[in-house]
Every structure is written in structure tokens, then in C-alpha cells.
Amino acid sequence: MNLKLHIRILSGLLFLFLAQQFYSCKKVDLERTAFVKTGQVANITATSALVYGSIIDLGSNAVTEFGLAYSTSPEPTVNNQVALASGSAALGEYSVAITGLSANTQYFVRSYLKSGGSVVYATTSSSFTTQSVNPGNSWLHYDDGTNFDGIGLNAGGDFDVAIRFAPSDISAYNGWKITKIRFFPKIGSPIVYTLEILTGADVPGLNYTQEVPSPIIDQWNEVTLSTPFTINASTDLWVGYWVQNQQAGTYPVGCDAGPAEAGKGDMISMDGLGSWYSLSTIAPSLNYNFNIQVYIVSQTGIEKQLLIEEKPVTKRIPATSGSYNSNSFGSFIQSSKK
């Protein structure tokens, strides 16, 4: 066989090899990978924080879950603790309120999403340290600090809302004073708002009331109590307000976007304080925390006020009513978002 024939054969084989490789490359299907980023941390208290994340790319597969993984160890995963974001996954920033944290503790947090059966994590984590249990003062709350909407009764009427702290939530604040309460009223006259402080377990007793004569509508109202209220950490503490004269089709009680701290951030009574329910439990579509915040100061900070007598309590007579179930509370409804 002469040299020219050898060259032709080798050239042909090389052509076939390259053609096969090119053909094989064309068969590969490229798949976009989802990408998330961990953002800043805000509103840090002794037991909670508001953490931001971003979805940079949704990827090729449907996103079934997204939010934040957190832990006291670096590089947290979904096998640690998670806080889910609400709504549908979309490009851009989202925020999640993390509650139930330990005071004076460093936490690491990382954005993640689940897509196509896999978990995609942000390449970096953020860290923060919760406040000490003994700051000079503190706001206690379950909401994320932002008003999302309002809720009310379909038929109108009177009802009470509150946030609830168990003894374990306030053990570090025994003997401290509540000096201010913040809330977010959505509707004005003829509605009357009266602040309330109650103590006790499932059917708490009313200990303090203070009417808010001229609330500013659709924004935070910070009300200084006429008399500071002493915290007794041996029993549950409830702080909220009484809504009177709500008209049908109005939604006076401000709330955040959730998710609710069920049984704590979303307590509601419709029978004059005789029975209390978690709103997100009896009406799952209303998975929100009420915009109610409580300002407390240490005993040292209020020594000059200890001799002031507590303000007399407005008499409330619980209404007589039958048994309640989820169907009894179909009147709760979220207003249309502005």
C-alpha cells in the first residue's frame, strides 16, 4: 500500500472520529441551574431577626420550596432549622422573620431553594448575634415590623386581638415594666380602640385598659401607658386591644405577611374575652401576626415610677356563646391589598 493511500485512510478515520464527537456534543442537553444569595439581617432582638435573601436564577425546574436555613454552626443546611418564605418563588429579594431564637447567641443563616429534587444553597452565609436578655430596654413582638394588610369580621361587631407570651418567653423580664404599646389601626371612626393587658393561661384575666382617643390611621401608633405595667413572668402575658363598633366590610386590625407564630402572634376573641383562638388555626388562609409590639424597660430604668398605682380596669362581661369550631369563624377575611 503506497503512502498516499495510507494518508487517505487515516484522514478518513480522523474525519469519522471528529464527526462522531461533534454529533455526540450536539446531543447534550444544557440545564440552567438555580442560584440564590443570602442578604442582610435586620430587626435583631433577643429572640428574633428579619433575614433577607434573593433568588438570582430560578433554574430550569419548578421551585417547590425556598427560604432560609439557620443554625448556631457555620454553613447551615435544611437538616438544621429552616424558615420558609411565603408566596411563590420569583426573581428578586424576599424576607423571612425567624423567631424562637436564644438570646445572646450567634446564628448563621443561608438562603436555599428546592428545585428538581435537589437543594440549592447560597454560596455564602450571613451571621448575626441576638441581643442579650438584659438590654436597657426592648421591643417584644412576633410580627416582622411591617404592615401587610388588615383583618376584620365580615358582619362587623366587637372583638379583641392580642399577642401572647408564655412564662418561658418572658422569664428574663420578671419585674420589668411595660411602658409603651405600638399597634397599626387600619380604620378610623366610628371604631374605638382600647389597649389591653391580660395575664393568665387559656382564659386570661383583664388587668389593664387604656383607650386610644385619636389614633392615626394606617400607620404605627406608639402609645405611652398612663401607668407602667409590671411583668409577672410566672404566668402568661397578653397584650393587645379591643376593637369596638367595627362596620361590616371594614378591616381594622393591622397584620404582617406571616407566617404566623400560631398561638402567640395571632390570638383573637369574639365573645368578650371568654374564649381565645389562634387566628391562623381557625382560619388557615389568614396566616399572619398582628402588628402589636410591647416596649419594656428594666427595673432600674423605672424606679421612680414604682409607687404609681395601676389604672383601674374597664369592666368586661364575657358574652354567652355556644361551642366554637373552624366553621364558626368564617367571618374573618383579609382585605383587598392596596
Closest to 265 in 3D by CA, of 165, 149, 138, 197 = 165
Asked whether residue 27 carries a pLDDT value surpassing 70, the answer given is no
Asked whether residue 316 carries a pLDDT value surpassing 90, the answer given is no
Whole-number pLDDT of residue 13: 57
Asked whether residue 307 carries a pLDDT value surpassing 50, the answer given is no
Among 23-32, 90-99, 143-152, 195-204, the minimum mean pLDDT is found in 23-32
Query: Pick the residue with more confidence: 325 or 264?
Result: 264
CA distance 44 to 109: 13
Write phi, then psi, for 118 (nearest 5 degrees).
-120, 160
Query: Pick the residue with more confidence: 312 or 86?
Result: 86
Whole-number pLDDT of residue 181: 97
Question: What is the number of residues in the chain?
Answer: 338
Asked whether residue 313 carries a pLDDT value surpassing 70, the answer given is no
Domain ranges across the chain = 35-129, 137-317+328-334
Asked whether residue 338 carries a pLDDT value surpassing 50, the answer given is no
Write phi, then psi, for 69 (nearest 5 degrees).
-100, 140
Q: How far is CA 32 from CA 88, 112, 268, in A?
A: 19, 16, 46
Whole-number pLDDT of residue 182: 96
The percentage of residues in the chain with a pLDDT greater than 90, rounded to a whole number, is 58
Give me the sheet containing 92-98, strands edge to edge: 35-42, 49-57, 92-98
Asked whether residue 319 carries a pLDDT value surpassing 60, the answer given is no
**Which band of pLDDT confidence, cut at 50, 70 and 90, is reported for residue 25?**
very low
pLDDT digits (tens, 9 = 90+) for 107-163: 999 999 998 889 999 999 999 988 765 555 678 999 989 999 999 988 889 999 999
Domain 35-129 top-level CATH class: mainly beta
**Which band of pLDDT confidence, cut at 50, 70 and 90, is reported for residue 324?**
very low
For the segment 63-76, the average pLDDT, to the nearest whole number, is 94
Name the average pLDDT for the chain: 82
Q: How far is CA 334 from CA 105, 250, 265, in A?
A: 36, 10, 16
Q: How remote is the C-alpha of 245 from its chain's centroid?
A: 28
Give me the sheet containing 332-334, strands edge to edge: 253-255, 149-153, 332-334
Whole-number pLDDT of residue 328: 34
**Which band of pLDDT confidence, cut at 50, 70 and 90, is reported for residue 308?**
very low
Whole-number pLDDT of residue 114: 92
Asked whether residue 71 carries a pLDDT value surpassing 90, the answer given is yes
pLDDT digits (tens, 9 = 90+) for 233-249: 999 999 999 999 999 88
Whole-number pLDDT of residue 47: 84
Asked whether residue 327 carries a pLDDT value surpassing 70, the answer given is no
CA distance 224 to 133: 23
Among 25-34, 269-278, 329-338, the minimum mean pLDDT is found in 329-338
Query: Pick the residue with more confidence: 263 or 135?
Result: 263
Any residues with CB less than 8 A from the CB of 8 and at least 6 apart, and which? none
CA distance 48 to 100: 6
Domain 137-317+328-334 top-level CATH class: mainly beta
Whole-number pLDDT of residue 252: 95
Asked whether residue 336 carries a pLDDT value surpassing 70, the answer given is no
For the segment 241-259, the average pLDDT, to the nearest whole number, is 93
**Which band of pLDDT confidence, cut at 50, 70 and 90, is reported for residue 193?**
very high
For the segment 160-176, the average pLDDT, to the nearest whole number, is 90
Please answer whether residues 142 and 47 qualify as being in contact, where contact means their C-beta atoms are separated by less than 8 angstroms: no
* Other Cβ atoms closer than 10 A to 35: 16
